[in-house]
Structure 1
Amino acid sequence: MNCKKKNLNILSFEDEPPYADILINSYQFYTYKNASDFSLPRYFNWNEQYGLTQVTYDGCIYKMTLKIYVHLQKRNMDVKINQFSKEYYIIPNEFISTDQFHQIDLSKTLQDQFYLDFYVNKIEKLIKKFSIGQIKHTYHFQKLLNSYYK
């Protein structure tokens, strides 16, 4: 895209849903198809003046949308902010301060990556589900249910 100037477009709740439902299996904050720009990477900003704002960038335009809620889908997040922060940013897998945000290379941070944590957690759950202890527990529970309903 050939853009001479970066534009800013602020949208209200009428233009987008008031929430952001983040895909669980993606490193980036892609949303389900409930937003017109679901395939654009995004980050979030919270401050005392505006509250929660979603920011997407398509190469030319920064689009800011007010949000009431962001669902991070049980994502492991590193919290690197003070609990009394007046402003912070939410980038993939981190809550960071304004100072930290201005020091990162946003193009690399928002670049899609293989989301290893998601797949490790999935494999751990499968191993637990099919472990000998879990199978025994399920068998005994089923036996208990069968004896109760006879």
Structure 2
Amino acid sequence: MSKSPHSYRVTTVWDGSAAGPAKSYKDYSRDHVIKMQGKPDLLGSSDPGFRGDASRHNPEDLLVASLSACHMLWYLHLCTVNGISVFSYTDQATGLMAETADGGGHFTSVTLAPKVHISPAAKANLAKALHQQAHAKCFIANSVNFPVTHQPEITTED
């Protein structure tokens, strides 16, 4: 039986117009605000390599962050239902993007590198294996057309 679809609403507002209208590639601001009802605004821009503000979030960072967070949330769920206590989880995720000759581009891969501290030690192998299950269930990973790989590191409390 199919479940009802989930809906997500995001409003993106270009706030760079204070610096003037977008008339030429080099002269307009890439600054924007991403709004989701009931949540703090995200200040956005383009990647600094594309004339953006390095102090603001860019779409490429947010895509990698979405993959990392989705994987982590599934992983935590799978650990709890398998009797594994997670004391800490830190992921140093890396995304690679290639530009094309026509000025476009695409991601070629994302590598997740979670460092997870768990208990009991006897379940360390299972804890490592659960990363594959988390990947298979991750909504975001199932929505992209490039490989998402994992290099997990498991340490134990006992």
Q: Which band: TM-score by shorter chain?
A: under 0.3
More helix by share: 2
User: Normalised by the size of structure 2, how large is the TM-score?
Assistant: 0.22
User: Normalised by the size of structure 1, how large is the TM-score?
Assistant: 0.22
The structure number with the bigger radius of gyration is: 1
